[in-house]
Structure 1
């Protein structure tokens, strides 16, 4: 029997973070959530990942360019199996005991919702870790816009939840983001690659074109069609 919530963690070059996250799930009694890591096929740390991660998917098309492709690929594999799908980075750590029960409580409603906790960095401003109903993911056709490689996915989740009237921020549910911007970890090659000015410019342009072009409106239309305007209050 599967848990109601699957948390997908795209990762590269950080098996120690995978082990740390597995331990955090145990420490917070995450009985309603399961964890799966998605590593690139060419990651030199794959042997260590097999040791650290009880459940590991190998993304054959992954080449370390960003996490969106791996996230969407894994979401497509599991959205018919789990009621809800979540994303955490390999630098997130749940801190609140029973955090998963709080997340599921916020997701337990008829309308489409985007739920997130307090990452101790962005707080309510951005869902750097996010949880969505599988029904919503199926309606969208993705968990994150495929035009994005790594950045601005949290902006999408924020605006999606706002547009649907289903954004749910849980300030007392701490899912800490251990990020260089918070001064909690040193910048490494992985952070530098996905946060470079070039990478930021590419994803920012792609996000703005998606947001103000046809992409975002079409995604909302698919959700409205799935849930029904009356049911979703859209």
Structure 2
């Protein structure tokens, strides 16, 4: 098994996976494993199967849960088999050769913790892509708290990493976020769904509830890992 497994939940964007794979092949040097998680009701599922099969990408298909719950399901299942679990959106592109090795090296130095690179959009402000040591996933039972479907996951990773003093930002390691907000992607149905006012507010409220009621207990669980 590889040290790092990177999970990419995706829907309706098999072309993004093909493009991501090109960037992956050009920059990934550490034997890091790539896994795409798709929905069984996705009208483009056949294209996902073709893209992944032709490139040797592991594809996991399951019921539609939305991005964060899908990430949680796969991460919890796979965490015992890898040193670390990573997340990329299907609109992220690694640009720095050896980015994955740098992530693993940083996590090895931390022992337990979080690492993220420069996405050329949020930068240090938010880990829109991340790698997390698997002991964190196993201790919490998730990568994102229940109730959050898409937005605010990066805030959770930042909050937890800072609370335990185990988060590292690598400014020279570029994992570009090709988002429509920075003009690097077209606003499609997925972006519209996520950024719909009601959906965005529901995620904000779920994050606020975690912050107020559950974060302290989760921080205690992670501090226990640190001894």
> With structure 1 as the length reference, what TM-score do the two structures score?
0.92
Counterpart residue number, 2:186: 186
Counting helix residues as a fraction of each chain, which structure ranks higher?
Answer: 2
Once residues 110 and 185 of structure 1 are traced to their aligned partners in structure 2, the CA distance between those partners, rounded to angstroms, is 34
Counterpart residue number, 1:176: 176
Equivalent residues of 1:121, 1:182 under 8 A apart: yes
Equivalent residues of 2:110, 2:166 under 8 A apart: no
Kindly report the root-mean-square deviation, in angstroms, between the aligned alpha carbons of the 2 structures.
1.1
Counterpart residue number, 2:156: 156
Give the number of equivalent residue pairs.
223
Give the drift of 1:31: 2.9
Counterpart residue number, 1:223: 222
2:173 aligns to what SS in structure 1?
Answer: strand
Equivalent residues of 2:127, 2:158 under 8 A apart: yes
Residues 120-161 of structure 1: CA deviation (Å, up to 9, x unaligned): 000000000000000111111111112201110000011111
Equivalent residues of 2:147, 2:206 under 8 A apart: yes
Once residues 28 and 143 of structure 2 are traced to their aligned partners in structure 1, the CA distance between those partners, rounded to angstroms, is 26
> With structure 2 as the length reference, what TM-score do the two structures score?
0.95
Higher mean C-alpha displacement, 126-135 vs 109-118: 109-118
Equivalent residues of 2:38, 2:60 under 8 A apart: yes
1:71 aligns with 2:77: no
1:57 aligns with 2:60: yes
Give the drift of 1:110: 5.1
Gaps of 5+ in 2: none
User: 5 Å matches for 1:69-218?
Assistant: 69-109=69-109, 111-213=111-213, 215-218=214-217
1:8 aligns with 2:29: no
Gaps of 5+ in 1: 229-234
Counterpart residue number, 2:40: 41
